[in-house]
Amino acid sequence: MLRRALGDPTLVAGTDGGYVLRVEAGAVDAIVVVDEGRGGGRAPPDGDASAAAELSETALARWRGEALGAAGDWAAPHRARLDEARTTLLETGLAARLRLGEDVIGDLEAAVLAHPYQERLWSS
């Protein structure tokens, strides 16, 4: 049984339906990144490119490596959902920076190479 590094209670607990992770939502990077990508409950007003660029940049800065990279096959649907959230953040950030008049050519080329089937990247 896993325990918190600085004491009890149990971090992972068994239930009738499987296991449950007992932590605050803010302690799980994936939840924080997805929440920030949605604006953390404070979505920018329509057309506010500066706020959209900032939210995207803040959320993407938390991202490190492959989502659930060390997890097994059971994590595939969760990994796909998180990868989709990351790509959406990337698209949103690039589009916002472009509207702000920033030079995003290098970042956009890299994004298109990494995600060649994302139409939103091509249309930017």
Chain segment 59-103, per-residue pLDDT in tens: 888 888 888 878 888 888 888 888 888 888 888 899 999 999 999
For the whole model, what pTM was predicted?
A: 0.67
Q: How many CA atoms lie within 13 A of 18 on its CB side?
A: 3
Number of folded domains in the chain?
A: 1
Count CB neighbours of 2 within 10 A: 11
Structure tokens at 75: 């994590």
Q: What domain range is 72 assigned to?
A: 3-123
Exposed / middle / buried, residue 8 (Cβ in 10 Å: 0-12, 13-18, 19+): exposed
